[in-house]
């Protein structure tokens, strides 16, 4: 692909574009959720994921399962595993988007930092999950 040109939106990549738009529009709330879940569980549950089917919802992606998937796809997820392993949760958010039999890395450095987003949003984890899942259902359509 040439710089400055975009690929046409096909059914195969539509979910990725919708997910990108959702993440951009909801960075503060996603950062707050990421930090709140980290406070509750550390990284013991794995990486938070956004599963788009049957309807958008949040899931945990345990490290062992991501590693098994990497083995099944001939180590094509090695870079993703490295990004997850080297994540700096104090400054950046890392999540996995899951849709149409594919995965997509979600990574961004929110301003302010995730801990401050959590304080500013003023909702607990359950409230954030409910809010964001409602927004996903409205904004990401298959």
The confidence score (pLDDT) of residue 7 equals: 58
The arithmetic mean of pLDDT across residues 108-121, rounded, is 97
The confidence score (pLDDT) of residue 2 equals: 46
pTM: 0.89
Buried b (16+ CB within 10 A) or exposed e, 3-17: eeeeeeeeeeeebbe
The confidence score (pLDDT) of residue 5 equals: 52
The confidence score (pLDDT) of residue 32 equals: 98
**pLDDT above 90 for 3:** no
**pLDDT tens profile 67-95:** 999 999 999 999 999 999 999 999 999 99
**pLDDT above 70 for 8:** no
**pLDDT tens profile 14-27:** 899 999 999 999 99
For residue 44, name the pLDDT band (cuts at 50, 70, 90): confident
Handedness of CA 75, 76, 78, 81 (dihedral sign): negative
For residue 100, name the pLDDT band (cuts at 50, 70, 90): confident
- Residues 37, 47: Cα–Cα separation, whole Å: 10
């Amino acid at each position: 692909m040439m710089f400055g040109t975009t690929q046409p939106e096909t059914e195969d990549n539509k979910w990725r574009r919708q997910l990108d738009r959702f993440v951009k529009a909801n960075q503060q709330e996603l950062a707050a959720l990421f930090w709140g879940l980290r406070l509750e569980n550390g990284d013991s549950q794995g990486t938070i994921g956004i599963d788009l089917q049957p309807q958008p919802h949040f899931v945990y992606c345990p490290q062992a399962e991501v590693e098994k998937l990497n083995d099944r796809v001939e180590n094509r997820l090695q870079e993703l595993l490295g990004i997850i392993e080297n994540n700096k949760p104090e400054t950046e958010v890392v999540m996995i988007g899951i849709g149409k039999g594919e995965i997509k890395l979600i990574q961004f450095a929110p301003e302010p930092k995730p801990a401050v987003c959590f304080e500013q949003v003023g909702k607990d984890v359950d409230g954030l999950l409910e809010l964001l899942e409602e927004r996903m259902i409205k904004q990401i359509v298959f």
